[in-house]
Chain A
């Protein structure tokens, strides 16, 4: 078995040994339901699609992904197991990927467990199931970006709380990057071109089309590349800790 696989399985198991994973799943599912039906006006819209459901996902991930990723490296650094893990015969990349995949798969599981809402919309009308599938896929890719941010920032500190807060702050900045409030804030200080470039970093901007069920290659590339970028940053951070 490859080290990536072994690390991933260990991480997944350790999620479910503690009650945290179950608490997370329940909160995720309850919040997804509440946000969709109350805030998203699922019924009142009178449309057989899952757009109100998907639109809420960035905000759901904002709270819940940091909770999953905060312990990833911080806990190991604090408990001393980092020394054990990183002196086993594997590269930092393999360790990072194993942990990343575990958290990403876990979010995927939570996402899959929202299937009753898909059953509901199919019962109520005849939605475009292709678009719904695309929405799920896009949402999971976006979750990957969030998880990678958390993985990177958890390597920065020994404190899980600090890791949580840092991840949440970075995530909220990235979600809101294209929003007027944030753009106004930066437009005074930065050149116009840079502000426009910042807007392209917005998670919401790239998720908007996906929520409607449109998979644009540029959006997919955005999520995949940002995932990769944050993972690289995380590995560099771990290497820096070794050398520092």
Chain B
């Protein structure tokens, strides 16, 4: 998201960091970095304004600090601290019952935290609930909507609740309806729609007010593969201009959508990394697998390669997986060996790592050691 700074910072002797996520006003670049700071009145006011702007620009779009929720003895969410920076699609991953929905409900303001804080665009959800909710588009789990209303009535209701006003409301309505392809069902009752369409109505509701932050609770849960694909494409398109927090227990979703992943289990944060970093934790990361006729002969040879740690053969299809020693690259030596052996390799692949394996590893460790 491109934010605009205040019109005028005056003559500011502060250089912007080059990796700053927001567009810096041109006037700043013309100042030499070595100008000594003179706190004249004009300067002071300007620098205060600059600091305020800079601070607000650096505020995470979604931020939780030791967010905790108890139900009696049960701790549903345990001291969860996450941040989603502008432009990020943050995946909240975890097995069912890990506390994903509870965390989202607290960020959305539906549940009050037992302790800790959550902020949306810098607005504390407890102290400034309305400002936080205005900045947020939220699709609750299962995309609930009023079944007896038509799609048009429902979206008009949301537009009124969001105080969009007649003109803006109509423009956004047309945009969103066109974009989510809801024209043909505008006059249908929501309860008569298919699950996929209902999910799209839920998405329409969430983005109607063009929020900078979007929070989607299991947006593709219970949909068929085609509907999943459609919804994912829509989310992907929305991600270009928004910060999105998306919860899921589907791993393929992480690859398809997220650029960072937070893994929850038993209400606790277990991992916070990019999908690639997670894959790198996998045993399969950097492994080479291949299918070849009569590969049994070569196994011994492969085992002698200095970089190889282990070899596994799939008992069903005879596919061989060669695991490297830590840090070793084995694709080339393996390929060379196979060529030397004169094996007919029908297919060979360098594995990126298996998310499902990492996921299982991360989320089940806790159960064994409570």
The answer to whether A and B belong to the same complex is: yes
A contacts, CB < 8 Å to B: 1, 3, 5-7, 9-10, 13-14, 17-18, 79-81, 83-84, 86-91, 242-243
Tell me the complex Cα distance, A1–B157, Å.
10
Q: Is B237 an interface residue (CB 8 A)?
A: no
15 additional contacts (CB under 8 A) given A7-B161, A18-B148, A80-B144: A1-B160, A1-B163, A6-B160, A9-B157, A10-B149, A14-B149, A79-B147, A83-B108, A84-B145, A87-B136, A89-B162, A89-B163, A90-B161, A91-B130, A242-B111
Q: Is B179 an interface residue (CB 8 A)?
A: no
Q: Is the CB of B144 within 8 A of A88?
A: no
Closest to A5 in B: B160
Q: Is B109 an interface residue (CB 8 A)?
A: yes
B309 to chain A, nearest CB (A): 49
Tell whether A83 pairs with B144 under 8 Å between CB atoms, given A88-B158, A242-B111: yes
Q: Is the CB of A84 within 8 A of B149?
A: no
Q: Is the CB of A10 within 8 A of B163?
A: no
Across-interface contacts of B109 in A (CB, < 8 A): 86-87
Q: Is B138 an interface residue (CB 8 A)?
A: yes
A194 to chain B, nearest CB (A): 35
Q: Is B205 an interface residue (CB 8 A)?
A: yes
Across-interface contacts of A13 in B (CB, < 8 A): 149, 153
Query: Which has the most chain B C-beta neighbours within 10 Å: A18, A81, A84, A91?
Result: A84
Q: Is the CB of A87 within 8 A of B133?
A: yes
Across-interface contacts of A9 in B (CB, < 8 A): 157, 160
Q: Is the CB of B146 within 8 A of A242?
A: no
Closest to B72 in A: A244
Residue in B112, B141, B142 whose beta carbon sits within 8 Å of that of A242 in the complex = B112
B74 to chain A, nearest CB (A): 13
Closest to A2 in B: B163
Closest to A98 in B: B161
Across-interface contacts of B134 in A (CB, < 8 A): 89
Q: Is B105 an interface residue (CB 8 A)?
A: yes
Tell me the complex Cα distance, A96–B110, Å.
15
Counting chain B residues whose Cβ lies within 8 A of the other chain, the interface size class is 20 to 34
Tell whether A83 pairs with B148 under 8 Å between CB atoms, given A3-B161, A242-B110: no
Q: Which residues B145-187 have CB closer than 8 A to chain A?
A: 145-149, 153, 157-158, 160-163
Tell me the complex Cα distance, A86–B146, Å.
14
Tell me the complex Cα distance, A83–B108, Å.
9
B163 to chain A, nearest CB (A): 7
Closest to A241 in B: B111
16 interchain pairs, CB-CB under 8 A: A6-B157, A9-B157, A10-B149, A14-B149, A18-B148, A80-B141, A80-B142, A81-B146, A83-B108, A83-B140, A86-B110, A87-B138, A88-B162, A89-B133, A90-B161, A242-B111
Closest to A95 in B: B161
Q: Is the CB of B144 within 8 A of A10?
A: no
Closest to A92 in B: B129
Tell whether A88 pairs with B133 under 8 Å between CB atoms, given A10-B157, A83-B110: yes
Residue in B108, B145, B161 whose beta carbon sits within 8 Å of that of A6 in the complex = B161
User: When A and B form their complex, which 9 residue pairs have the shortest distance between CB atoms, in order from nearest?
Assistant: A80-B144, A6-B160, A89-B133, A83-B140, A87-B108, A243-B112, A88-B161, A81-B144, A17-B148
Tell me the complex Cα distance, A67–B275, Å.
53
Closest to B101 in A: A83
Across-interface contacts of A80 in B (CB, < 8 A): 140-142, 144
Across-interface contacts of B148 in A (CB, < 8 A): 14, 17-18
Closest to A16 in B: B148
Q: Which residues B38-73 have CB closer than 8 A to chain A?
A: none
Across-interface contacts of B158 in A (CB, < 8 A): 88
Across-interface contacts of A83 in B (CB, < 8 A): 105, 108, 110, 140-141, 144
Across-interface contacts of A87 in B (CB, < 8 A): 108-110, 133, 136, 138, 140
Q: Is the CB of B146 within 8 A of A14?
A: yes
Q: Is the CB of B144 within 8 A of A84?
A: yes
Closest to A86 in B: B110
Tell me the complex Cα distance, A84–B161, Å.
11
Tell me the complex Cα distance, A80–B198, Å.
14
Query: Which has the most chain A C-beta neighbours within 10 Å: B105, B112, B160, B205?
Result: B160
